[in-house]
Each structure stands twice: as structure tokens, then as C-alpha cells.
Amino acid sequence: MKVDAPANSAPIIKKKRPQVNEEAQVPWVEKYRPSKLEDLVGHEDITSILQRLIDNDNLPHLLLYGPPGTGKVRLVLCAL
């Protein structure tokens, strides 16, 4: 059984979504997050030790501690 739309109904118009710049959608924190060890600001003593260990191919197990938001994870991701 086929049901047809009424003859007096208005046609359905589908509008395209406006194009959005993907870079504009990135949060500020993600946009300016450091991606290399050299990009980290502060903690020069820690980054220099970590860089020396990486250069010598002698990276031991590390335990990083501190309050949230101090850059522990970012330090490790930059070092990889």
C-alpha cells in the first residue's frame, strides 16, 4: 500500500550547512599546546634532563607527580 503526499503540501527544501573553518573550532588550549620538548616554557631543568636522557637512549622509568594542569602528560607526549 503506497501513500502519496497530499497535493497541496509544500515541497521539502533541504538547506546545506554553512562551511565552518575547522581551525576555528579548535579550543585555544589545544591550538597553542606545545608539541615539541623545545616548545615547553618553564621547567628548563626538567626538560634538559629529559632531553639528555633521550639523546643518550637511556630513558628510565619515570614517576611524575603534581597537581592537575602542571604539564605532566604534555611533558611525556612532547618527549615521545
Predicted pLDDT of residue 6: 60
Between CA 38 and CA 45, with CA 44 as vertex, the angle to 5 degrees is 130
Q: Is the pTM for the entire model greater than 0.95?
A: no
Mean pLDDT, range 40-54, rounded to an integer = 84
Predicted pLDDT of residue 56: 92
- Assign 3-state DSSP to the chain and report helix, strand, coil percentages, each to 5: 40, 0, 60
- Model pLDDT for residues 13-36, shown as the tens digit of each residue: 777 766 666 666 888 888 888 888
Predicted pLDDT of residue 67: 93
Question: 64, 23 in Cβ contact below 8 A?
Answer: no
